[in-house]
Structure 1
Amino acid sequence: MSPKTSESRERTGGRRGVLMTPGRIAVLVLGILGLVFVFGNTRATRIRLLVPVVTTPLWIALLATGLIGALCGSYFTRRRR
């Protein structure tokens, strides 16, 4: 195996093993847009959790739902491999 050349390091931005592919860029942009949406919705809202009704800022509910979705997606992606 040959060592990495300076040319291959330039393509990765000087970092080893980090390659900015179009898919990663799209995920990064969508993540930033999602965070802008979450933190743009700051008013309080009522949420029913099975029995109790909780009043919380909407951004907390959106962020929690997004994190739960990301964890579920990560779990199923790893299980598929």
Structure 2
Amino acid sequence: MSPTTKNAGGDRAGGLRGELTPRRITALAAAVIALVFVFENTKEVEIRLLIPEVTMPLWLALLAVGVVGVLCGVLLVRRRG
């Protein structure tokens, strides 16, 4: 084996290193828009969680739902090795 042989993954040893792909740009833009939307909605709201009714800032409820959505997406799209 010569010292210049690449591993099976190519030269993508840095994870996020590399060029900005359209997929990365779209994901970044969507995240920025979602965060702007969340932090523009700062009023206190009443939310019913099955039985209890909770008063909390709307931005916190939106952020929590966004995090749950991202976690569901990660679990559903996880690649098989």
**What is the TM-score with the length of structure 1 in the denominator?**
0.76
Q: Tell me which amino acid in the other structure corresponds to 2:47.
A: I
Q: Cα RMSD over matched residues?
A: 1.6
Q: Tell me which amino acid in the other structure corresponds to 2:75.
A: Y
- Name the structure where helix makes up a greater proportion of residues: 1
Query: 1:77 Cα deviation (Å)?
Result: 1.0
- 1:11 is matched with none
**1: distance between equivalents of 2:71 and 2:32?**
18
**1: distance between equivalents of 2:76 and 2:30?**
20
- 1:49 is matched with 49
How many pairs does the alignment contain?
68
- Structure 2's unaligned 5+ residue stretches are 7-13
Q: Percent identity?
A: 51
Query: 1:2 Cα deviation (Å)?
Result: 6.1
Give runs of ≥4 in structure 1 deviating > 4 Å: none
**What is the TM-score with the length of structure 2 in the denominator?**
0.76
